[in-house]
Amino acid sequence: MSNINGKAYAMNAITPMKPWKTWILRLLLFIFAQAVRTSDLKKLSFIHFARWVIVPHRKFPRISSDQPKENLQYDYLIFFSNFNGTWNQYIDAFSAVLSTGLDAIWWWSEKFPGAVPVTPFKDYIALVQFETDYYYDAYPHATTNDVKAAHRVKAALDELAAPSPNMSADEFAKSYLQFLTKVQGDLGATGEPPVGT
């Protein structure tokens, strides 16, 4: 299945919006962007990369005059996500943790039922989702948490290694123990994903 590569899932979803509403959404997304580093999206920690893209009804690329002109009434909101876990886990977590934020973003889309309760929300996402034909992931065996943990281990190792040649054996053993204590939660192995994701 091309939606999945290793431990990552590629989701695409497109929803119609009345053009006057897109300006409200643009403003909201601008505000969200300012607070993203402390947001629940960040705290969820299973999304490598995600984006919302508004395509105005007159802005679908027209490359040549031979190409038929689009005649659309709606602007379209396209959501792309690269996340870890299964589709159901993802939508469940979105509904449980991010319902306020998602409501603020998708509320402007036609017939969006709200992120809670989860069943109509899942039905809506399933309706507006379209499949990925090709999906590439540079580190398919690593989740978002693996990536963050690996960077913490690398930083701690560099910190230990730099002064280590000038230490006595006992000083090194003490620093090594402190290093172990620091990274012990970040040593989980990466590898093949479980079947079913």
How many C-beta atoms surround the C-beta of residue 131 within 10 A?
10
Q: List all residues 6 or more positions away from 49 whose beta carbon is below 8 Å from its beta carbon.
A: 81, 82
Buried b (16+ CB within 10 A) or exposed e, 132-159: beebebeeeebbbebeebbeebeebeee
Task: Note whether 87 binds other proteins by CB under 8 A.
Answer: no
Q: What is the DSSP string of 84-113?
A: ES-HHHHHHHHHHHSHHHHHHHHTTBTT--
Task: Note whether 123 binds other proteins by CB under 8 A.
Answer: no
Binder of other proteins out of 24, 35, 96, 180 (CB under 8 A): 180
**Closest approach of other proteins to the CB of residue 26, in Å:** 6
The token pair that represents 178 in the structure block: 């402190």
Site size for other proteins, by CB under 8 A?
90
Task: Note whether 115 binds other proteins by CB under 8 A.
Answer: no
Query: Which residue, 107 or 139, is less far from other proteins as judged by CB?
Result: 139
Task: Note whether 10 binds other proteins by CB under 8 A.
Answer: yes
Touching other proteins, residues 131-170 (CB under 8 A): 131-142, 144, 146-151, 153-154, 157, 161, 164-165, 167, 169-170
Task: Note whether 116 binds other proteins by CB under 8 A.
Answer: no
